[in-house]
Amino acid sequence: MDKEERKTINQGQEDEMEIYGYNLSRWKIAIVSLGVICTGGFLLLLLYWMPEWRVKATCIRAAVKDCEVVLLRTTDEFRMWFCAKIRLLSLETHPFLSPKSTANKVSNGHAVRLIENPAEENRHELSKYPQTQLQQIRYFTHHSVKYFWNDTIHNFDFLKGLDEGVSCTSIYEKHSAGLTKGMHAYRKLLYGVNEITVKVPSVFKLLIKEVLNPFYIFQLFSVILWCTDEYYYYALAIVIMSIVSIVSSLYSIRKQYVMLHDMVAAHSTVRVSVCRVNEEIEEIFSTDLVPGDVMVIPLNGTIMPCDAVLINGTCIVNESMLTGESVPVTKTNLPNPSVDIKGMGDELYNPESHKRHTLFCGTTVIQTRFYTGELVKAVVVRTGFSTSKGQLVRSILYPKPTDFKLYRDAYLFLLCLVAVAGIGFVYTIINSILNKVEVGVIIIESLDIITITVPPALPAAMTAGIVYAQRRLKKIGIFCISPQRINICGQLNLVCFDKTGTLTEDGLDLWGIQRVENAQFLLPEENVCNEMLVKSQFVACMATCHSLTKIGGVLSGDPLDLKMFEAIGWILEEATEEETALHNRIMPTVVRPPKQLLPECIPAGNQEMELFELPAIYEIGIVRQFPFSSALQRMSVVARVLGDKKMDAYMKGAPEVIASLCKPETVPVDFEKVLEDFTKQGFRVIALAHRKLESKLTWHKVQNISRDTIENNMDFMGLIIMQNKLKQETPAVLEDLHKANIRTVMVTGDNMLTAVSVARDCGMILPQDKVIIAEALPPKDGKLAKINWHYADSLTQCSNSSAINSEAIPIKLVHDSLEDLQVTRYHFAMNGKSFSVILEHFQDLVPKLMLHGTVFARMAPDQKTQLVEALQNVDYFVGMCGDGANDCGALKRAHGGISLSELEASVASPFTSKTPSISCVPNLIREGRAALITSFCVFKFMALYSIIQYFSVTLLYSILSNLGDFQFLFIDLAIILVVVFTMSLNPAWKELVAQRPPSGLISGALLFSVLSQIIICIGFQSLGFFWVKQQPWYEVWHPHSDACNTTRSLYWNSSHLDNETELDEHNIQNYENTTVFFISSFQYLIVAIAFSKGKPFRQPCYKNYFFVVSVIILYVFILFIMLYPVASVDQVLEIVCVPYQWRVTMLIIVLVNAFVSIMVEASVNRWGKCCLSWALCCRKKMPKAKYMYLAQELLVDPEWPPKPQTTTEAKALVKENGSCQIITIT
């Protein structure tokens, strides 16, 4: 039954989960209730923390189909449990359900995707099901998504809109008319309200959730225990600390909720117009929209309340909310295959592949263009949390837990402390029984040892370093929305950079053009704005083939298009609303040159006059635009010169793509060589092409034609050469990263050779390094997938030497250190297409290519994310730095993502830099390293603190004594808290060093450091404890003891006589207690100094003035009260008088302890690594990180790197289970 009833939902997706069915069991609930009463509510808390136990303790297994409760478990490495209650959606109370068959289908779980044509559903299905079954649909909600029971797949599935399995044809034929009111109401019942709700929890709810944290429950238990033992002051101090901690935590959590709520709610409800079936237009609230509604986009624009696909007209949209790119994007209507001349087949609509026709939720429509009498319409495809914005908000509301070794080790360490506490617990019980102590006292004292061993201040201490680091980052203009990631940034050993706008300047400058005539390149020309070229097709293409638009009278659009249009000095005019209304077809955008003889633009006043001088006018109207697509790497337009019968098609884009769509006879023979020469020099090259269209193409036909029909059989016209300058700081920053042994990788959407050239210019690839280009080809015509390896010439070599001699093959360098293995002398470069082929067909090569892959060109946004994942799979800690434009996925996936864009898209990135410069990367890594080392220091210190105090108490328990209330208070508040919060203040070291901090607490050097300090502290404490008993003046202390001189003792005795009864009860005042208290107090400060590491990751501790001052004040105070007792202080701290000679002896013990501790810690730092590496060499231990292990393997692999001009093929061998094993042959 178990196996049979485990189902999987969201299969193959990021949020894939296993689902189990359960029904509530009365007898189990009764037993649990009894258990809760017997344990005083503790069992209830345990079940609250563990959803899996909660469900299993109160329910019995049932079929998923009929269950009342579902238990969900994620299939990722975290294996987290969630539970959800099954609810019923009742349809019987709604008489408006006109499409009854649809109701039947959904109520029985069929319609988990929208029924495309409800009116034409098979009517006979009604008779299939008994009427009683039609009333209710079963569903549950998890992470803001509703999952409905689906009978066809016998599983739960979330309700999809029109974004899956709906063809482009059916969007026009079946969905463009709108919905009837009945169908709309019915769908609204299923899909719910169209809003992305971020509920800000009430303070009370948040408080309960925060207080029920296991840590605070442990604190509550400690406080109750201390109160029963009359440790009121310390209990009060802990309560105050906890309240401060809870209040600050509540404030920050609530503040984040409010910020997110405000960001989402700013435009959650607007009034929209929708078309109904009978062509009437109804005004409704955006919250009432459902998939299938036809929304009218208003003229003056709007903020989109849902995801919708354009079916009429054109929109100009600002998508900065989602992409971080503030450049307006032109959206055109979805191609309609049914009226297309060529016919595209029945292509399925997909918001991602058809994003140039999709208006996304949260984006701003700036303005619209339309046909006369026809409204700009869009069909709603997704609503609420299903929209792109909803998914972004969900990823913020329910983030994946951060898996970092430090946190896992911290829990292990706490378990070790619990084990130590267990030993103390048992020892205390046995010792107390042997000494015939009362049962009540035994219980309190044995439980007390647990509260001493597991320090209540630990979480506050651990977060202090991160909070300080966050504050320092804010000062240098780096904002952080995920503070836990700061520590992870200290581990980064590879950083991916986007090229344009990140490594190079944002804007491009036009360097020149190189036209083609008679299939031959002419000489490069700098000035495009001249009389000779003004009527050429080349300039016409530059004037029309762009997505520029006027917003508020100012030209705006893609920076590349702007530079290109400015270079020719033409004028762009868009039709006004009045003009559009006068004509019976769409008014095109018109471009024209300035008055022929004048290169500069004519004054605005003359423009109207010139319209009447018909013979002199030369105008081009842009009839249809196919926007730029990063997948196709091109854009095209259909335009017509005023007075011409035939229309022209112009195309621009990546040279390789454009050349492949042109007639071969029009492409110059030396095209590849010329292109290579330009790209090697780091220029960005764009190719132009043109062709005359058939005269039979009318305006209306052009509006519905597919781009494939236009974009072929073109005439190649030449190249535009743009210059993309490196940012001034780029080479220096990359050099700093290389010196620190941090690998750098370039991920760009640009041309490969341009990217390689920029990589050489900025020092990512050194002049003497070799670049191996991996060109992977997918399987075709029965042939297997293969990779061709080419060696790119370095700039220093002659360009005409095409043959590469064998000496040019890179040599492998054998390094002493594993860390240096990555510094070898060859780099792989590949484009996005090759990367996809390699991921699919050459999985065994992926890790090898990741080890030396430096340039990844023409990468689509999802490929950038896949690259980050592939690098993480070989155990790299990956940083990603991008301008946010198309790097959102990669920024989120990387261990440390830094967005250089300050727009709302930075919500997707853990870090955002105020200044758009990559100098923030080394700063972030430095701060991350400092925060990580601070975390280690604090953790080690807190561990020592608990062990020192634990041992002090254990020693005193042996003589049935303990530390006094105010002694505990002084140690915990005056020493520990002050030290912890000031030792975290060390700023980061000035520069990045090659050494990296350890990633976890369970490392040889760290454990050796902690254990050696524990042994030293225990040793010196024991020495003091047992040595005091050997003193000639020693006796078991009583109020009249006279170890000091007589006059002093008179004073002492009189001051303490009135407390006699209280002292006898707890036996706190004695010589052992005083000795242990003074020695342990100094030990806390000694280990604080020993563990306060400075170089190479933090500034030395003497520069941390707060820490230095605090430690000096504490040292002086403790020394003073030890050597020169003050009666009032001694009375409060319950210290007894000991001879001066013993005070000096204690001082000597403390000084020797300090010397030994600091020397041992210094030698662990200096020699620990050498001893460790020597031990590893003896054991021949393999390195932990996969990439290091791989680097070792490749050093002895004779076939790697691949030889020049060779090919690697994928061979598929069918195994018994039918899967393919891939073997590469060279």
Distance, CA of 707 to CA of 626 (rounded, Å)? 7
The one-letter amino acid at 1226? T
What are 62's strand-pairing partners?
21
Q: Is 524 exposed, middle or buried (0-12, 13-18, 19+ CB in 10 A)?
A: middle
The one-letter amino acid at 807? E
Give the DSSP H or E segment for 1152: helix 1140-1179
CA distances, 658 to each of 357, 668, 712, 834, 1077 (Å): 23, 13, 9, 19, 82
The reply to whether 875 belongs to the active site is: no
Are 1093 and 1165 a contacting pair, CB within 8 Å? Answer: yes
CA distances, 1110 to each of 240, 980, 1104, 1106 (Å): 22, 11, 10, 6
Half-sphere exposure in the Cβ direction for 980 (13 Å, CA): 29
Nearest C-alpha neighbor of 946 from the set 549, 453, 457: 453
Q: Are strands 743-747 and 853-857 parallel, antiparallel or unpaired?
A: parallel
Distance, CA of 1144 to CA of 1123 (rounded, Å)? 7
Residues comprising the chain, all counted: 1226
Are 47 and 66 a contacting pair, CB within 8 Å? Answer: no
CA distances, 1155 to each of 506, 1090, 1149 (Å): 57, 10, 10
Which DSSP category does 179 fall into? Answer: B
Strand extents, DSSP E, 656-757: 683-692, 715-723, 743-747
Distance, CA of 220 to CA of 216 (rounded, Å)? 6
Are 305 and 267 a contacting pair, CB within 8 Å? Answer: yes
Q: Are strands 494-498 and 878-882 parallel, antiparallel or unpaired?
A: parallel
Nearest C-alpha neighbor of 19 from the set 2, 38, 41: 2
What are 786's strand-pairing partners?
777, 1209
The one-letter amino acid at 544? T
CA distances, 688 to each of 31, 334, 511, 657 (Å): 78, 25, 16, 11
Are 372 and 581 a contacting pair, CB within 8 Å? Answer: yes
Query: How far out from the chain centre does Cα 746 lie?
Result: 19
Q: Residues near 737 by Cβ (< 8 Å), separated by ≥ 6?
A: 495, 744, 921, 922, 992
Q: What are phi and psi of 238, to 5 degrees?
A: -65, -40
How many CB atoms within 10 Å of residue 845? 21
Are 628 and 634 a contacting pair, CB within 8 Å? Answer: yes
Q: What are phi and psi of 795, to 5 degrees?
A: -65, -25
Are 336 and 172 a contacting pair, CB within 8 Å? Answer: yes
Nearest C-alpha neighbor of 908 from the set 452, 393, 301, 539: 393
Distance, CA of 178 to CA of 290 (rounded, Å)? 11
Strand extents, DSSP E, 223-268: none
Report helix, strand or coil for 220: helix
Query: How far out from the chain centre does Cα 1068 lie?
Result: 54
Q: Which ranges constitute the DSSP H helices of 875-977?
A: 888-893, 920-957, 965-969
Catalytic entry in 498, 793, 965, 972? 498
Which DSSP category does 120 fall into? Answer: G
**Structure tokens, 410:** 């911290």
Q: List active site positions.
A: 498
